[in-house]
Amino acid sequence: MTTYVLTVQCPSRRGIVAAVSGFLADHGCNITDAAQFDDTETGRFFARITCTPETGTGLEALREGFVPVAQSFDMDWGIHDAGERMKVLVMVSNFGHCLNDLLYRWRIGALPVDIVGVVSNHHTYQKLVVNHDIPFHHVKVTKENKPEAEARLLSIVEESGAELVVLARYMQILSDGLCQKMSGRIINIHHSFLPSFKGANPYKQAYQRGVKLIGATAHYVTADLDEGPIIEQDTVRVTHAQSPQDYVSLGRDVEAQVLARAVHAHIHRRCFMNDDKTVVFPASPGSYASERMG
């Protein structure tokens, strides 16, 4: 059965829900799932609605018909076919736990995306990627060639049609210009020790301070490096009996899980930028189901 996803964000005012639901009903669409949030601090309204066209209304007809509603409320909006897979480009360096996790979830259908390529500044995971029949792009990055490397990256994004770039432990800093150009389209993952433990060996620093919680943060990339709007976070408990190496292993596990959840939220259009924060709605029923077990 065809399912459409309608996303809306606009200045908050009376009548938005009535106008949207009335439009869908008038065009033969049955709402199957809906979430909304009115941010009283920013004065913004956010909504995500899934619906099924019971009278055969097509996607383009819905988009065309919704324009007057959107204009009357000054909406930033979109209507998408839920079955259409988002094109994703993954970037990785020498740590493969997040890449391997994403590839597994993609292979079993738990992350319904089209991985259009993997970019790396090393050859470490070339064979792994090629064995999945995914294009592998080696883009060497040095201080001297960084502008040329980023130009190559942008050309890969454009040629592949990538709608989302996932930094799966890609250990290179992107330029301000690239971050601004792709605002809201790049997701990064890192440990959750910032700003306390910066630089090399953050897990060792955490061990030396005797922390009891370690975790990971997935966020949209901005020019503020690791301070972009947070999408997903999680933690795991540690004790005095565990070593710095244990911290690293546990950290890798939680990083992979948090990144996958953030990608899941974005590809299902559940995540909205809200100034320096995000609005992340719950998943629709059935969206975590896998096509196969392995």
Separation of first and last alpha carbons in the chain = 25
Phi and psi dihedrals of 53, rounded to 5?
-80, 105
Contact present, 264 and 283 (Cβ < 8 Å): yes
Catalytic residue among 33, 39, 114, 226: 226
Contact present, 215 and 240 (Cβ < 8 Å): no
The answer to whether residue 226 is catalytic is: yes
Q: Which of 230, 242, 234, 209 is nearest to 275 (CA)?
A: 230
The strands making up 4-11's β-sheet, listed across from edge to edge, are 29-39, 44-53, 4-11, 76-81
Tell me which residue has tokens 């990339």.
221
HSE, side-chain direction, 13 A CA sphere, residue 239: 1
Q: Which of the residues are catalytic?
A: 226
